[in-house]
């Protein structure tokens, strides 16, 4: 696994993609993943074309807590006092998890519609840059900085890694940020589920492996990322 982690770190640092499979019995999905700060319009195009799922940005808890971001289900719960329908939409029956990592959606304030490859690349890369700076300078007023640079709602979905990370939840959100942290990279990751247009389902692990081999992308399993993280931070 150390060799694969080193390959993944090199690929991520150079602005390339890796693939991450969560685990058997969970979502059983492979995400196409890269450092948010490195995202360009061509990367957004690849995520749309080769992955096809929802393009999101996963944030480490050291970042999103300093930004003051809420989980979307908490926003809905609070707002249900006025809009009763929100209490009826509670996601209490997710078959593979106990709750969702979704937070707000954002656009950078310099975008136009927010949905083009250029616009989404700007939003994602600037979220990545601000996330890195937040790790480096935690004392800054990041809530004001976030509001000055981004508006909500937007077209980029933010995902909040659980505060306990893999001790609390083992989704792609947590796996990708702990991988970045473990190899010394900013834990702000762009990710998108890989889908299969032939079957209408998630891309199989076997087909994902073939895609990774064809493009020279490392592919990591969730349990291997967890082992790496536990050896570094939990040992």
Mind telling me the catalytic residues? 31, 56, 96, 107, 155, 193
DSSP character string of 30-74 = EEEEEEGGG--HHHHHHIIIIIBS--EEEE-HHHHHHHTPPPHHH
Nearest to 168 by CA among 110, 99, 115, 96: 99
Show the tokens assigned to 189.
């990751």
Contact 180, 125 (CB under 8 A): no
Q: Is 94 left (phi over 0), alpha (psi -120 to 50) or beta?
A: beta
How many C-beta atoms lie closer than 10 Å to residue 80's C-beta? 15
């Amino acid at each position: 696994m150390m060799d694969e982690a080193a390959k993944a770190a090199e690929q991520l640092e150079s602005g390339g993609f890796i693939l991450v499979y969560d685990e058997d019995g969970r979502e059983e999905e492979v995400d196409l993943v890269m450092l948010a700060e490195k995202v360009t319009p061509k990367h957004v195009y690849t995520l749309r074309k080769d992955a096809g799922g929802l393009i999101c940005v996963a944030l480490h808890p050291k970042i999103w807590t300093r930004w003051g971001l809420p989980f979307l289900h908490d926003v809905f719960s609070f707002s249900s006092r006025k809009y009763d329908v929100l209490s009826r939409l509670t996601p209490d029956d997710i078959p593979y998890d106990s709750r969702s990592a979704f937070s707000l959606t954002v656009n950078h304030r310099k975008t136009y519609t927010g949905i083009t490859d250029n616009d989404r690349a700007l939003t994602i890369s600037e979220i990545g840059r601000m996330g890195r700076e937040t790790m480096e300078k935690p004392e800054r007023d990041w809530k004001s900085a976030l509001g000055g640079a981004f508006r909500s709602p937007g077209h980029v979905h933010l995902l909040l890694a659980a505060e306990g990370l893999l001790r609390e939840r083992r989704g792609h959100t947590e796996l990708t940020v702990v991988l970045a942290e473990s190899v010394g990279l900013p834990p702000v990751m762009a990710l998108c589920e890989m889908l299969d247009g032939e079957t209408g389902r998630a891309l199989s692990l076997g087909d994902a492996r073939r895609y990774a081999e064809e493009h020279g992308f490392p592919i990591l399993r969730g349990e291997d990322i967890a082992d790496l993280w536990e050896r570094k931070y939990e040992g």
